[in-house]
Amino acid sequence: MNRYEALLALNTRGKEETVKETIERLEKTIKAAGATIEQVQRLEKRELSYESRHLTSAYFINVVFSAQPTAIDAIRAKLSLDNEVVLQNYLKLSAKKAAEAVAA
């Protein structure tokens, strides 16, 4: 199993009150792919550097999880079908960063 960090930008325009439910749903989707979630950071709503899907701002979350390398493709495919996920980026954490994250 490898450790990964996922940065997700969510479309919350007109539905700011449902952010918590959306994040919980996304956590279930990630877990369904066989991942173990270690941490979810809510980074709040921020301006986008460029317009994406006619949005100028999005709600960002950062998810740290452990999963098999093949699970990333499954998670990416599933979340790309979700209308509320505007952007997604995945980063494999190195052993050094993984140790630092555990110590923090």
Q: Which of 77, 104, 81 is nearest to 93 (CA)?
A: 104
Average pLDDT, the chain: 86
Query: What total of structural domains would you count in the chain?
Result: 1
| Residues paired with 25 in a beta bridge | none
pTM of the model as a whole = 0.82
For residue 65, give its domain range. 2-103
- CATH number for position 33: 3.30.70.60
Residues ≥6 apart with Cβ < 8 Å to 103: none
pLDDT tens profile 17-53: 788 899 999 999 999 999 999 999 998 888 777 777 6
